[in-house]
Amino acid sequence: MRKSWMALVAATAVAATACSGQGGGGRGEIAAPPSDPAKVSGEITVLTNRSDQIADGTLEKYAEEFGEVYPGVKVKFEGLTDYEGETKIRMNTENYGDVLLIPNSLSVEQYPTFFAPLGEAGELSKKFDYTDHATVDGQVYGLANIGVANGFVYNKAVWAKAGITEWPATPEEFVADLRKIRARTDAVPYYTNYKDGWPLTNWTNAIGSPGCDPGSYDSLAKTAKPWSPGSDLHTIDELLYTVVDGKLSESDPTTTNWEDSKTQMGAGRIASMWLGSWAISQMRTAAEAAGKKPDDIGFMPFPAQKDGKFCSVLRPDYQYAVNVHSGKKAAARAWIDWYITKSGQAAAEGSISSVKGAPLPDTLKPFSDNDVTLIPQHQENVADVHAIDKASEIGITVQDYRQKLVDVARGAADGDMDSYFEELNGKWSEAQQTLGG
């Protein structure tokens, strides 16, 4: 999977270099915010992972409100259930929408190949947070709608039924709590969402939480064996492995379903899932639909403390970008800016707005009440980390290696945790040495 994606990137890079740029799709053309809404026109396609918001009419409502400001622009949405997988295929052509969410499997250095620059980092960083996550050579290629704190979305009613009233402070306590849930309730203690895959990639966003270190991800560039005992990746992946190995997750991960998992969480049939804070409101909506209390859904940090305090890494959610081949760059950029700054979507869903100075949402009140430290993720060495990751063919931001981790833990693949970590360390170390790290 990793090799085929890198081949796809190379092929697309060649195709993009040969692009003529006709129809407003020229490479290097800045997708600048339009100054006069009346002069912007055309139909744009927005690729989204929120198929649920297409079905319930939420996105169409936003499009109608946008149309009141930009009457000459028609917005069409295309929902992709397997967003990462389907986008990979689409990006082997020039037809991947006008606006899209930047896939996690792309490294920042590849952004100029696929996306139009949105403006200079110095200017955009005055208005939006997280621009450093999408900056190449001083140009920003993606804007996040929301920031995300990372933690376990959990059903408080289920945990209380199991007799658990305090957040676990260590991985061992977390596993012990899941065992209580297994013994005392009918709920699945932890749900991997293995089949959809992308939820497994979110475990990488825990890097930095165990040691409360904003530079933990950056340090991978200089770490020969990231899965050594005591490291963040070892702590994170050991916890996932232990949960699955201990039969504390769903019985058959190959049949999981993301949309159904929200219903099950809301109804109390699933006790916990590792996700971003964006998921809280979705789970609360599911709880209400199931006739349960929305407040039954809570959010807890990774089970580790530094100096007696929990830490959660704060990072951008998917970043919105403009297809470098789009012939409607002005309209595409108008949608992105309006959606982020004017739609009210972040506040409506209890998310952290990327607009500078926006307050934390009520969904994170438990974090503020319990003095959870929100830490940023440093980006100084991220290009080196991505280069090593690419050369190693591990893919720490894609789902494959953690799906194998789950397979090993459940006995569907050879080896054990130690042998798999040794394999990962070997690949990383070899790639690092090859690149001169």
Domain ranges of the chain: 2-144+318-361, 148-311
Q: Which residues pair with 270 in a beta bridge?
A: 188
- What are the backbone dihedrals phi and psi of residue 119, each rounded to the nearest 5 degrees, phi first? 145, 180
What's the CA gap between 134 and 143, in Å, rounded?
A: 8
Looking at domain 148-311, what is its CATH homologous superfamily?
Answer: Periplasmic binding protein-like II (3.40.190.10)
The predicted pLDDT at position 219 comes to 96
The predicted pLDDT at position 380 comes to 85
The predicted pLDDT at position 107 comes to 85
The predicted pLDDT at position 430 comes to 97
What's the CA gap between 142 and 340, in Å, rounded?
A: 12
Tell me: the pLDDT tens digits for 332-349?
999 999 999 999 999 888
The predicted pLDDT at position 26 comes to 53
Q: Which residues pair with 309 in a beta bridge?
A: 306
Contact 322, 252 (CB under 8 A): no
Fold category of 2-144+318-361 in CATH: D-Maltodextrin-Binding Protein; domain 2 (3.40.190)
What's the CA gap between 17 and 170, in Å, rounded?
A: 50
What's the CA gap between 134 and 148, in Å, rounded?
A: 16
The predicted pLDDT at position 4 comes to 37
The predicted pLDDT at position 1 comes to 34
Half-sphere exposure in the Cβ direction for 106 (13 Å, CA): 30
Instruction: Give 159-167 contacts, CB < 8 A, sequence gap 24+.
Output: 159/271, 159/272, 159/298, 161/185, 162/271, 167/300, 167/301, 167/303, 167/310, 167/370
The predicted pLDDT at position 416 comes to 98
The predicted pLDDT at position 437 comes to 54
Same fold, 2-144+318-361 and 148-311: yes
Q: Which residue has the tokens 């949309």?
A: 259
Residues of the chain with pLDDT under 70: 1-27, 437
What's the CA gap between 404 and 414, in Å, rounded?
A: 10
The H or E element spanning position 310 is: strand 309-316
The predicted pLDDT at position 6 comes to 36
The predicted pLDDT at position 105 comes to 81
- Where are the extended beta strands (E) located within 245-308? 272-276, 297-300, 305-306
Contact 121, 139 (CB under 8 A): yes
What average pLDDT does the chain have?
A: 91
